[in-house]
Structures are given as structure tokens and as C-alpha cells.
């Protein structure tokens, strides 16, 4: 087997599930509790901003009650100890990778603890609520929205991500259903570049057959096992 020098890891809601954050598409998940068209599209925000601001205010506040699990910590260890490059890309808007010790994380779908000003376009760190229409810290307009990527919007960092996929030897997808593009297409990009591809998930994702290998189980178990294998072998 050729030596692995560059790893790209994509994570989804499944990696934070055991920390107590709801996934989207599981039974009882966020999309069973809310209509996706209402809370995760620009049109839904324009129709009913209070509903959307409240949805994200609640999720932002709930971050105070959760902690990273063994999977987040294992990936942070991999970033610290692996001799080559590890790019961690997450679709998650929580901050559990950072709190688990990961240094560099690309949040392609934005972050709960960030605000986007629709007046001046500035992205600012944001811990509090938005429902009362606080002023933008830069331009003072009361025009903040959650800095998350809704359906129909362009995800962040796509240039850097595609560049890394083109150059990687190993692509690993963790805890994502593979239902949302462009992230769902990363496995094919990586394969085109000649990388080996591995899926770590509770159940086979929609694109499971596209991976060279699929390991099923809880992220808190199978991610640390895989990291140990990479660092030990
Ligand atoms: C465990 C576990 C445990 C549980 N251990 N595992 C047709 C073709 C291609 C594209 C499109 C198309 N029609 C429309 C589109 C575009 C659209 C799209 O993909 N739609 C689909 C419905 C088809 N995409 C977009 O609009 C995106 N933008 C875009 O495409 O721009 C144009 C573009 C063109 C070219 C290049 C680049 C861009 C934007 C998508 C934005 C998604 N936003 C959301 C909300 C973010 C804010 C928020 O958090 O509220 O992002 S939707 C939601 O889904 C969220 C997630 O990040 C995303 C993915 O969900 P994820 O993480 O996979 O969660 P689940 O719940 O689906 O799965 C959890 C998994 O974990 C499961 O598999 C479980 O088994 C597993 N699991 N417990 C391990 N303990």
C-alpha cells in the first residue's frame, strides 16, 4: 500500500450525535421537528425571520450544554500527531471539533457562533441571541442573520476543499448521510484524484457504494479505532 501523506476528512451531524446534538434526517431529527423549507432556506427566512432566528438562537444556546465526544478528540489527536497533512472539513455548525482540540477546521456550512450582516456582509463571532435584532458590530445595522449556509446558497471554502481533494491520498467521510451536495460529491472528486476512500458511519450512507471501504458503528468507537490504526500502523 502506498504511504499516506495527505488526508481529507469530512464530518457530518453523526459525529456530534453522541454529544447530544440532534442529527437532521434520523427519526426524531431536526427535519422531523421543523420543515426544512421554513428554517433552512433564504425564502423561509424572508417569510418568517422570527421563526428562523429563534430556531438558531435555541441551537446556539444549547451548545453550552454539550461537550465533545471521543470521536472529536480522536480527530484532534490525528491532526496533532500525523506526520503528513490532515484537512478537517465539517458540515456541522457546532463548535465541538474546536472544543475537542482541533486547530484548523473548515466549516463549509457556517457556524452557529457566527453572525452574518446582510447590510455590510461582515461575518462576526457571535455568542448571544439574534431575535431582538442586535446591531452589527461593524456597521451597526440591525441586520444580522445566522452565518449558516441554507439550501440554494454557496457553501464556504469550496476552492480550498476541492484543491485538497485533488491532492489527497485518503478521503474519509464520518457521520454524514450523503444526502446534501456538494459534500455528497466529495467522494467522487477524491476517487477521480486517485485517493483511497473510507466511510465511517452508523449505517450505510446514500453514496456508500462509492467508497472503497465502509465501516459501520458509533463514531465514538470506530473513529478512535481508525485513528489508532493510522497513527500506530
Ligand atoms: C452516526 C451516529 C453516530 C448518527 N455515529 N454516525 C441535485 C443534485 C445536486 C445538488 C442539488 C440537487 N438539488 C438541489 C441541490 C443543491 C442542494 C442539495 O444538496 N439538495 C439536496 C436535498 C439534494 N445543495 C445546496 O443547495 C447547497 N449549495 C449548493 O449546492 O450551492 C451550489 C454549488 C454548486 C457547485 C459547487 C458548490 C456549490 C447548500 C447546502 C446547505 C445545507 N445546509 C444544511 C443546514 C445548515 C445550517 C443548519 O445546521 O441548520 O446543512 S441542511 C443539513 O444537511 C445541514 C447539514 O450540514 C447537511 C448534511 O446533513 P448530515 O450532516 O449528513 O446529517 P444527516 O442527519 O443527514 O445524517 C447524519 C448521519 O449520521 C446519518 O447517516 C446517520 O446514520 C449518522 N449517525 N448517529 C456515527 N453515533
Q: Strand, helix or coil at 115?
A: strand
Asked if 99 contacts 26 with a C-beta cutoff of 8 angstroms, the reply is no
Query: pTM of the entire structure?
Result: 0.97
Residue closest via CA to ligand 1's atom 20 equals 180
Give the span between the Cα atoms of 10 and 184, in whole angstroms: 10
Q: Which residues of the chain have pLDDT under 50?
A: none
Ligand 1 geometric centre to CA of 8 (Å): 18
Does the annotation count 72 as an active-site position? Answer: no
Between the alpha carbon of residue 98 and those of residues 107, 178, 208, 223, the distances in Å are 11, 23, 28, 17
Phi-psi region of 83 (alpha: psi -120 to 50; beta: other; left: phi over 0): alpha
Q: In this predicted model, what pLDDT tens digit does every residue of 123-171 receive, in sequence order? A: 999 999 999 999 999 999 999 999 999 999 999 999 999 999 999 999 9
Q: Is the CB of 14 under 6 A from ligand 1?
A: yes
Residue closest via CA to ligand 1's atom 21 equals 180
Residue to mutate, 181, 186, 203, ligand 1, most ligand atoms under 8 Å from C-beta: 181
Q: Which atom of ligand 1 is nearest to the CA of 18?
A: 80
Cell of 10: 469530512
**Torsion, CA 101, CA 175, CA 45, CA 50, rounded to 10:** -60
Ligand 1 geometric centre to CA of 71 (Å): 20
Give the span between the Cα atoms of 168 and 170, in whole angstroms: 6
Residue closest via CA to ligand 1's atom 40 equals 151
Q: Which atom of ligand 1 is nearest to the CA of 12?
A: 62
User: DSSP E strands: which ranges in the chain?
Assistant: 6-11, 85-90, 105-107, 110-117, 123-125, 144-148, 170-174, 196-201, 213-216
Q: Is the CB of 61 under 6 A from ligand 1?
A: no
Residue closest via CA to ligand 1's atom 12 equals 181
Q: List all residues 6 or more positions away from 38 whose beta carbon is below 8 Å from its beta carbon.
A: 44, 47, 48, 51, 52
Q: Residue 2's pLDDT is what?
A: 65
Q: Is the CB of 52 under 6 A from ligand 1?
A: no
In order of start, what are the domains of the chain with their CATH numbers?
6-21+66-109+155-230 (3.40.50.1220), 31-64+116-148 (3.30.1600.10)
Residue closest via CA to ligand 1's atom 59 equals 180
Residue to mutate, 14, 93, 158, ligand 1, most ligand atoms under 8 Å from C-beta: 14
Backbone angles phi, psi at 151, to 5 degrees: -60, 135
Amino acid at each position: 500500500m502506498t504511504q499516506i501523506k495527505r488526508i481529507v476528512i469530512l464530518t457530518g451531524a453523526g459525529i456530534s450525535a453522541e454529544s447530544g446534538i440532534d442529527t437532521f434526517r434520523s427519526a426524531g431529527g431536526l427535519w422531523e421537528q421543523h420543515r426544512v423549507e421554513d428554517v433552512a432556506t433564504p425564502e423561509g427566512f424572508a417569510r418568517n425571520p422570527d421563526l428562523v432566528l429563534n430556531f438558531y438562537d435555541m441551537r446556539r444556546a444549547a451548545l453550552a450544554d454539550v461537550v465533545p465526544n471521543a470521536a472529536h478528540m480522536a480527530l484532534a489527536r490525528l491532526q496533532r500527531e500525523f506526520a503528513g497533512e490532515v484537512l478537517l472539513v465539517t458540515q456541522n455548525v457546532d463548535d465541538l471539533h474546536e472544543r475537542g482540540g482541533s486547530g484548523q477546521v473548515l466549516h463549509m456550512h457556517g457556524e452557529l457562533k457566527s453572525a452574518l450582516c446582510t447590510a455590510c456582509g461582515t461575518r462576526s463571532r457571535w455568542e448571544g441571541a439574534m431575535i431582538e435584532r442586535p446591531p452589527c458590530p461593524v456597521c451597526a445595522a440591525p441586520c444580522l442573520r445566522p452565518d449558516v449556509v441554507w439550501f440554494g446558497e454557496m457553501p464556504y471554502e469550496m476552492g480550498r476543499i476541492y484543491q485538497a481533494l485533488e491532492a489527497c491520498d485518503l478521503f474519509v467521510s464520518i457521520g454524514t448521510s450523503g444526502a446534501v451536495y456538494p459534500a455528497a460529491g466529495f467522494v467522487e472528486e477524491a476517487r477521480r484524484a486517485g485517493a483511497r476512500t473510507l466511510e465511517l458511519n452508523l449505517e450505510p450512507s446514500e453514496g456508500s457504494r462509492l467508497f472503497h471501504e465502509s465501516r459501520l458503528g458509533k463514531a465514538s468507537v470506530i473513529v478512535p479505532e481508525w485513528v489508532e490504526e493510522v497513527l500506530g500502523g
